[in-house]
A and B are shown apart, each in its own frame.
Chain A
Amino acid sequence: MTAAWYHLRLVALRQAVVAPVLVYLGLVAAVYASDAGPPVAAATVTAAALMPVTAWLYRLVATAESPPFADITLVRLHGAARRQLVWTNSTVLLAAALAGAGMLWAGVANPYPYPARIVAVIAILHMVQAFAGVGLGCLVSRPLPVRAGAAVLVVTAVVIASLILRWLPPLGPMLSAFYGNQTRSAQVASLAEAAGFAVALVGTGWALARRTT
């Protein structure tokens, strides 16, 4: 059994993923309850929602085992770096499934054509935000000693700040560029900023984890 599959199985058996999955699908349902507008603009909203949900999922994956069992898994995976890679892989798989469900919902419910190019753009939007969520999750999860309440506050604060300050990645620039229908170069720049934000957070999280573990 691969380590990623093992962790997915753990969170499924704990039924811990039910809450974030329902929250995300509920938001997707709300967005597409009526005419949501052009496909990319509508998908920008669901992609933005995927960011905090992915951070939540990352924390659930990272805390799926109680400490002594987690210690055995850490030894089995030969260290904190590989364990965080496994947590990242597991979380990205969950986020990709949610993104796929959201895109499928959009294709069925939104009365606009969804050619392959548009679908690819929407997929990129979602996965960039998912990686940003992973990065944020790294900073509010094990092995860093962050309590659940503090984690919720941090994620909420980042979401609100990025929505208010439109220049602050990962959400602000992407929403401005894609929802505001800006130029293609601005759109690409917003995705690059979000990706850079994700890489910086993941790198910081890994560095802190190596010092902690």
Chain B
Amino acid sequence: MLRAVDLRVGPGELLVVGGPNGSGKTTLLKVAAGVLRPTVGRVTRAGPVGYLPQTGAEPPPRLTAATWLSFVCRNSDLPQPLDLLAALGGPSPASPLAALSGGSLAKVLLSAALSGGPGLVVLDEPFAALDARSRTVAAGLIGQAAQQGSAVLASDHEGGLTQFASATVELTDGALVPRPASVPGPGWRLVVAESGGAAREVVVDCAERDRTLLGVLSAGGQVLGVEELR
């Protein structure tokens, strides 16, 4: 249940919604997209809506990605979904949806959602099924959608949208708690030990966190501690 949620996402803005499991993020995004009607209050949307639900869906049988995209995406002045799919390194458009892996299916759905604007783009955990490389590309495309004038509302556990976010809000027990706009400042304290070296402590922002951890681990080092600074 959502309580007293008052939210506005303007054209060109990317608002990231965070919060623990069960806090109401998916419900909020469904209400924003028009999948659910609010029992109290109202939702106003300008222009068409692109929507990415959480994956795990059973796709329609024997329907190819291209056929499905041709139905879902009708706006010819928008980035073509097939171009977006190619940029994401997605599957062949001739592939049946039912034969795709979870990650490939997520790329098809994300391509459709980003082509569904330019009014509002609603993304529910867009990186959940993507590999590390695809996450970076997807984050760039989502940021690009906002730069091109779409209002983007997304939930993101991975932190991949932090660098593009105009603002982030926290949802707790169905109520919004505003947080400062995305600041690249201190966010995570990492305690790492390079291979054969002594342990050291670094403080990095969210975008730098994954890169630092990946660098240490791939060089044979160890991660001794990760702590979020609030």
Instruction: Check A75–B51 contact: CB distance below 8 A.
Output: yes
Q: Does B35 contact A75, Cβ atoms closer than 8 Å? A: yes
- CB pair B71 A3 closer than 8 Å: yes
B19 within 8 A of A: no
Residues 5-34 (chain A) with a chain B CB within 8 angstroms: 6, 9-10, 13-14
- Chain A residues within 8 Å of B202, by CB: none
Are B67 and A74 within 8 A (Cβ)?
no
Residues of A contacting B63 in the complex (Cβ-Cβ under 8 angstroms) = 9-10, 13
Measured CA separation A46–B56 after assembly (Å): 42
Contacts of A64 in B (CB 8 A): 60
Contacting chain B: which of A65-73, A105-113, A198-206?
A65-73
In this assembly, does B174 line the interface, its C-beta being within 8 Å of a C-beta of chain A? no
Q: Does B172 contact A (CB under 8 A)?
A: no
**B25 partner residues in chain A, CB cutoff 8 A:** none
- Most chain A Cβ neighbours within 10 Å, of B35, B50, B56, B67: B35
- Let me know if B40 is at the binding interface, CB within 8 A: no
Is A79 interfacial (CB 8 A cutoff)? Answer: yes
In the complex, chain B residues whose CB is within 8 Å of the CB of A211: 37
CB distance from A89 to the nearest CB of B (A): 15
B-side contacts of A213, CB under 8 Å? 35-37
Given contacts A13-B63, A69-B59, contact A76 B72 (CB under 8 A): yes
- Tell me, in angstroms, the Cα distance from A64 to B122 when the chains sit together: 24
Most buried by B among A1, A13, A68, A75: A75
* B34 contacts the other chain (CB 8 A): yes
Inter-chain contact A68/B56, CB cutoff 8 Å: yes
Q: Which of B60-86 contact A (CB under 8 A)?
A: 60-63, 67, 70-72, 74
Verify B109–A72 contact, CB threshold 8 A: yes
Main SS class of interface, A? helix
User: Chain B CB within 10 Å — which of A9, A14, A65, A71 has the most?
Assistant: A71
* A147 adjacent to chain B (CB < 8 Å): no
| Shortest distance from the beta carbon of A77 to any chain B beta carbon, whole Å | 10
Contacts of B163 in A (CB 8 A): none
Residues 106-129 of B contacting A (Cβ, < 8 Å): 109, 112-113, 116, 122
Whether a CB of chain A sits under 8 angstroms from the CB of B49 is: yes
Are A68 and B34 interface neighbours, CB within 8 A?
A: no
Give CA–CA (A104, B112) in the complex, Å: 43
Smallest CB separation, A8 vs chain B (Å): 12
CB-CB nearest in chain A for B51 = A75
- Of all chain B residues, which has the CB nearest A13? B62
Complex-state Cα separation, A45 to B51, whole angstroms: 46
Q: Does B10 contact A (CB under 8 A)?
A: no
Contacts A13-B63, A210-B37, A213-B36 hold; do A71 and B51 have CB atoms under 8 A apart?
yes
Docked Cα-Cα span, A124 to B10, in Å, equals 51
11 residue pairs of the A-B complex, CB under 8 angstroms, read A3-B71, A6-B71, A9-B63, A66-B60, A68-B57, A69-B59, A74-B34, A75-B49, A75-B51, A78-B34, A79-B34
Interface residues of B (CB under 8 A from A): 30, 33-37, 48-51, 53-63, 67, 70-72, 74, 109, 112-113, 116, 122
Which 5 residue pairs of A and B lie closest in terms of their CB atoms, listed nearest first?
Answer: A68-B57, A66-B58, A68-B53, A75-B51, A13-B62
